[in-house]
Structure 1
Amino acid sequence: MSPPPPAAIEVEAVTDTTAVTIPDPFTAPFKPNELYGRRRKTEKSQWGVAAPVNTANFQLQKHDHKPVAKRWDHRMTHEALSREGASLKKAAKYLGLPGMISLGGGLPSSEYFPFESLSVKVPTPPHFSEPATAASGTTLHAGKHDLANGRALYDISTAFNYAQGTGSAQLLRFVTEHTELVHNPPYADWRTTLSIGSTSALDMALRMFTHRGDILLSEEYTFATAVETAAPLGVRVVGVPMDAEGLVPAALDALLSAWDDARGPKPFLLYTVPTGQNPTGATQGAARRRALYAVARKHDLFVLEDEPYYFLQMQPYAGPGTPPPPPPASHAEFLASLVPSLLSMDVDGRVMRLDSFSKVVSPGARIGWVTASEQVVRAYARHADVSTQSPCGMSQLVLWKLLDEHWGHAGYLDWLIHIRLEYTRRRDVILQACERFLPKEVVSWEPPMAGMFHWLRIAFTKHPDYPAKSIQELEEEIWLAGIEAGALVMRGSWFYADKTAPHDTMFFRATYAAVPSEKLQEAIRRFGDAVRVSFGLKKMENGVENGDAGKNGSEVK
């Protein structure tokens, strides 16, 4: 959702006779402890060690006029409903009382933290490249006692100590504001809490909502780790048919409408990656998402919206040799160009959105966040209190210095626009390499609109050894041929949601996220050669077919 136009900027009363215009959050300069004049004032105790937090205090606008989220007591497990959180942390709210001398919590003294300061060099918007950062980046500095000395709202003595399962108030405020500015959930009691990444968040969600023997719905090809997370919990994943735009809502509706209890209890939990889906790269459009949400309401599904690639939405692919359209000219144009999230459509509080900094800042930070109804977020945070606890304080401090204190929301959007263009460039390189080096008579693909993955479909029925060899045998042969040629891609069968279901398609997943352009092109060339060898097609010399591959001395017609 795009930010309000200038005419819609609020005017807030100061006294009975004076008022102040609240500035546009994407153009006004950053002010300490305020979001460009719109941040709510917060008690100083909010920022202390292990301070409890209510993210409703960080929302920029009132949401009382919106409907309240649906309750999920009938779906949540006994484990989730019975958790009371960590009793010892309940005393933390008194630490900030003036004059309080605490002999209560077992908090180590920061005097014995062997860190006096922390410095990191980061890009200065809009100069985001590695050479520009090396030449003109900004060095951010965090001291041990910056909070007590009035120099910053977050410091080493706070971040490096114990904290609530929700994470620090400082970073939570930023992600809450970010969620509101981008998604503006359409119900009143939405909340956020930090996670240690989306895989951990998925694990907690499954423990909150599933029992052994339950069935989790997902795309028919899905994130392999999601299946591997569910399996030890006794939860089986059932795949829903896909097309080039991802999960097909009509197929989901048909599956649930005709559900046979002999297969197990009717599923009520859907796991989906709507943007740049792993592994297929498919992106659900706005109409597709609205249709999916309608099916979820019809069958009372609870939806886990896993969106690590949401901000890796790209410029439309213009074709070989054609430059992509110009990038968004403003923050508002950038946000308006994003496909609306399921969270932004959720009037019931039936979507639990999993966000992460892993794909847009750093996976090693191990920090993400969850957005859901107050009931669900409270249950999640109570679970975190007695398991993962707070995300890494060192990572939180570094991210807060970068995102809140240095970049602000405007600078973060500048960064997201920058990586959008970088991934667009990489995507175009792999597509052009595929056009040049892959045998299109047996390999086909759709240009990805987002994410990090390119999904290659193999016409295995044209293979000279089919049907003497099975689809699994041919997939392994092609995969090993690629490795022998020096190109590693992932086998599509590794991403089956349900490995027991019949499958009559063959895919390979390639990623364009990491390697330089020249190596990316060379890897596709090598994989193309491997496919030609397996299918007995003509080899290529300098990008031109020359002779035959010699497997069976024949060509595929």
Structure 2
Amino acid sequence: MATMNGTTVNGTVSLPATTQQDPPVQRLAEEPLDLAGIAARRAKAGKLIAGTAANSDSDMFKSPHAFNQPKAKRWDHLLTDDAISRQPCALKLAARFLKKPGMLSLGGGLPSSDNFPIESISMQVPQAPLFDKASTDIPESIVTVGKHDIRDKDGVFDLAVGLNYGQSIGSAQMLRWVTEHTELVSRPPYADWRCAMSIGSTGALDSALRIFCDRNRRDSVLTEEYSFSTALETIHPLGIKVVGVRVDEQGLLPDSLDETLSSWDETARGARKPTVLYTVPSGQNPTGATMGAQRRQDVYNVCRKHDLFIFEDEPYYYLQMPPYDKANSLAQPGAVDTSLNQDPEDFLKTLIPTMLSIDVDGRVLRMDSFSKVMIPGSRMGWITASEQVIERYIRLQECVAQGPSGLSQVLLYKILDETWGHEGYLRWLIHMRSEYTRRRDALLDACEKHLPKDVVSWTPPGAGMFHWLHVDHTRHPHAGKKTILEIEEEIFNSCVERGVLACRGSWFSVERDVEPTSLFFRTTFAAASQADMDVAVQRLGEAIRASFENLERASI
């Protein structure tokens, strides 16, 4: 097992995890965790020692304050037979015997690190607070991880450990970091919450669906009426029915959610009453909508009323931006973002509370990801849920993904923990918020300039990287003669001919067998330069005008 007391036995460690039933002998003051508290706890605990495939869990790394809550509800009545039937992996359980002094292993098939073909990896990492190119030219920017840093340099994580097989929950080194970060941000209001590393949010969603939904029970899932197409493509092959809930500029409408559940007709719907809600509360893909604090509480209350379990998918949570101000757009030449100087603790206070932070039942499985704020190709994130749910998730991962990439874990650890630390990472998020605000403002400036407002309307996104455009199909010269999908296809093809790609709203429709009543296009400000966005939106505007002026040349 991993520990923080510096005692190692044959590459593993022997101190049991901190649990609510088995508290450590000495605890720091039981106060909510903050940045200073993390540093104090680490200093008190000593060096983290975790060898190859070391066992660990979040209880080892939570603050004492985290245990001063009631336990989560149990979800036996919602779990699938598949999830309930899974047993611990015998080979991974065998690792616990390695803590016996003098044990020589002929058991586990862990390859010798001597045969790993990488001796070291070096990276140039930008430094806080500017994170600019100049900050990578200083000696401190060069971060190196070697094969035997633990053995030879008194390190905490190295390639010998990171490149070998690990536990499905993830490495102790990264698990400690995400547990501390989760407590800083969300402070879950129940005692037995835990984290587990994931292979990204889509992989986590697939596993969560297998734990809670079963086609043989005719299970169904609720989500926003327009939802991330890949999420829908993950759900449908499992034989699970998906039903859309109406949305507005703040996302899910609690009244619509309640009405859908209260009036559920199993015969008409072809599925039993839903037990799961999948939602993206911040910068929702594709609509860009962000739930305010009260909206999140209202949605949570409806879920409690109907005993609905919540999958909170939050890849864009930290990309929350100030309201768009056309007169003071950050995309204007010479514009300065004064919020870059914000204190990290104050930054945390500006974030809308997570659904996990109001979850008194343990009915939320939150999915976090490094994809949108750091490295998409790392394929790494983490989930947070009750101990019961995390345990079932680990049992599934032992037979499916085995856990996230060890290489991704060791490289991200070197950046997040050893180079930036928690404060540095928060400063990076402040930096990313500014970058995306500037990009969003550039796209919105272009929309103000080039789109025909008589037929195109929008709500400026307050988070994420997507901008949802509503096109008033009722003003189209062939309205009533052409379907909405035909008009949408006409505009889309015209866009492609002009050299711009905007995603058709129908691609994100949850219930595709139902004729749409509105026409939308999704645009993104994630990657294109400011100049390219201006040209692209100009072409989009031309395509819309061409469609609405076609044949009868309707005036707009």
TM over 0.5: yes
CA gap 1:251/1:24 in 2 versus in 1, 3 angstroms: closer
Please state whether the residue corresponding to 2:149 is helix, strand or coil: coil
Residue in 1 that maps onto 2:14: none
CA shift in 2, pair 1:332/1:67, >3 Å: same
Judge conservation of contact 1:40–1:60 (CA < 8 Å) in 2: no
Q: CA deviation at 1:370?
A: 0.5
User: What's the offset of the Cα at 1:62?
Assistant: 3.1
Aligned partner of residue 95 in structure 1, secondary structure: helix
Aligned position for 1:495: 508
Which of residues 155, 158, 168 in structure 1 aligns to 2:158?
A: 155
Residue equivalent to 1:234: 239
Whether the aligned pair in 2 keeps the contact of 1:239 and 1:497 (CA below 8 Å) is yes
Structure 1 pair 68–149 and aligned structure 2 pair: CA distance change class (3 A) = same
1:26 aligns to 2:35 (yes or no): yes
Cα-to-partner distance string for 1:492-514 (whole Å, 9 max, x where unaligned) = 00001111233200100000000
**2:537 partner SS:** helix
Distance 1:524 1:111 in 2: 55
Instruction: Name whichever of 449-458 and 500-509 sits farther off.
Output: 500-509
What is the distance in 1 between the residues matched to 2:461 and 2:304?
29
**Alignment deviations for residues 390-415 of structure 1 (CA, whole Å, 9 cap, x no partner):** 21111100000000011000000000
Equivalent in 47, 52, 67 of residue 49 of structure 1: 52
**Higher percent of residues as helix:** 2
- Superimposed CA distance per residue, residues 80-129 of structure 1 (whole angstroms, 9 cap, x where no aligned partner): 11111311010112324443221111110001111111111101111312
| Selected match of 2:323 from 284, 292, 316 | 316
The alignment status of 1:244 with 2:243, answered yes or no, reads no
Which of 450, 475, 481 is residue 437 of structure 1 equivalent to? 450
Aligned partner (choices 515, 520, 523) of residue 528 of structure 2:
515
Q: Is the 8 A contact 1:22 1:38 kept in 2?
A: no
Alignment match of 2:109 (pick from 106, 110, 130): 106
Asked if 1 retains the 8 angstrom alpha-carbon contact of 2:368 and 2:382, the reply is yes
What is residue 124 of structure 2 aligned with on the other side?
121
Distance 1:106 1:24 in 2: 39
Paired AA for residue 240 in structure 2: V
Q: Which residue of 2 aligns with 1:407?
A: 420
- C-alpha displacement of 1:366: 0.5
- What is the CA-CA distance between 1:186 and the residue it aligns to? 0.3
Quickly say closer, same or farther: Cα 1:465–1:553, change in 2 above 3 A.
closer
Displacement of 1:553 in angstroms is 5.5
SS state at 2:183 partner: helix
- Would you say the 8 A contact 1:63–1:188 is kept in 2? yes
> What CA distance in whole angstroms lies between the structure 1 residues aligned with 2:429 and 2:168?
28
Cα deviation, 1:215-265, whole Å, max 9, x if unaligned, reads: 110000001111111111100110000001000011100111111121220
Shift of 1:297: 0.4
* AA aligned opposite 2:497: E
Q: Percent identity?
A: 51
Contact 2:48 2:156 in 1 (8 A): no
Is contact 1:127–1:133 with CA below 8 Å preserved after alignment? no
What one-letter code is carried by the residue in structure 1 that aligns with 2:315?
P
Name the residue aligned to 1:459: 472
Aligned to 1:484: 497
The question of whether the paired residues in 2 share the 8 Å contact of 1:123 and 1:136 is answered with no
1:446 is the counterpart of 2:459? yes
From 213, 216, 219, the equivalent of 1:210 is: 213
- Within 5 Å, give how 1:356-375 maps onto structure 2: 356-375=369-388
Q: TM-score, normalised by structure 2?
A: 0.90
The 1:232–1:40 alpha-carbon spacing in structure 2 relative to 1, beyond 3 Å, is: farther
Distance in 2, Cα, partners of 1:222 & 1:45: 41
Pick from 129, 132, 136: which aligns with 1:133? 136
Contact 2:397 2:403 in 1 (8 A): yes
- Residue 12 of structure 2 corresponds to none
Query: How do 1:76-115 and structure 2 match up within 5 A?
Result: 76-115=79-118
Asked whether the 8 Å contact 2:200–2:369 carries over to 1, the reply is yes
Aligned to 1:84, the other structure's residue is in SS state: coil
Q: Distance in 1 between matches of 2:272 and 2:260?
A: 13
Q: CA deviation at 1:133?
A: 2.7
CA distance in 2, matches of 1:25, 1:266: 41
- Which residue of 1 is the match for residue 440 of structure 2? 427
**TM-score normalised by L of structure 1:** 0.90
1:134 Cα deviation (Å)? 4.7
Distance 2:31 2:418 in 1: 20
Give SS of 2:42's match: coil
Alpha-carbon contact 1:39-1:60 (below 8 Å) kept: no
Counterpart of 1:176 (choices 176, 179, 184) is 179
Letter in 1 for 2:289: A
Deviation (angstroms), 1:325:
7.5
Q: Show the counterpart of 1:348.
A: 361
How much has 1:148 moved relative to structure 2?
A: 2.0
Over residues 361-402 of structure 1, what are the superposed CA-to-partner deviations in whole Å (9 max), with x where a residue is unaligned? 111000010000000000001111111002111110000000
Question: For 1:301, which of 298, 308, 316 is the aligned residue?
Answer: 308
Q: Deviations over 1:443-470 (max 9, x none)?
A: 0000000001000000011111112111
Partner residue of 2:282? 275
Maintained 8 Å contact 1:85/1:383: no
* Counterpart among 49, 59, 63 of residue 62 in structure 2: 59
Write out aligned runs for 1:378-389 (5 A): 378-389=391-402
CA RMSD, Structure 1 to Structure 2 (Å)? 2.2
Tell me the CA shift for residue 24 of structure 1.
8.7
Using a 3 Å threshold, how does the CA distance of structure 1 residues 285 and 164 change in structure 2: closer, same or farther? same
Matches of 1:134 and 1:276, distance apart in 2 = 34
Q: Counterparts of 1:76 and 1:332 in 2: how far apart (Å)? A: 38
Find the counterpart in structure 2 of residue 3 from structure 1. none
Residue equivalent to 2:482? 469
The one-letter amino acid paired with 1:26 is: L
Q: Distance in 1 between matches of 2:39 and 2:67?
A: 23
Q: Cα distance, 1:47 vs. partner?
A: 0.6
Aligned pair in 2 of structure 1 residues 225, 445: CA closer, same or farther (>3 Å)? same
Cα deviation, 1:167-194, whole Å, max 9, x if unaligned, reads: 1000000000000000000000000000
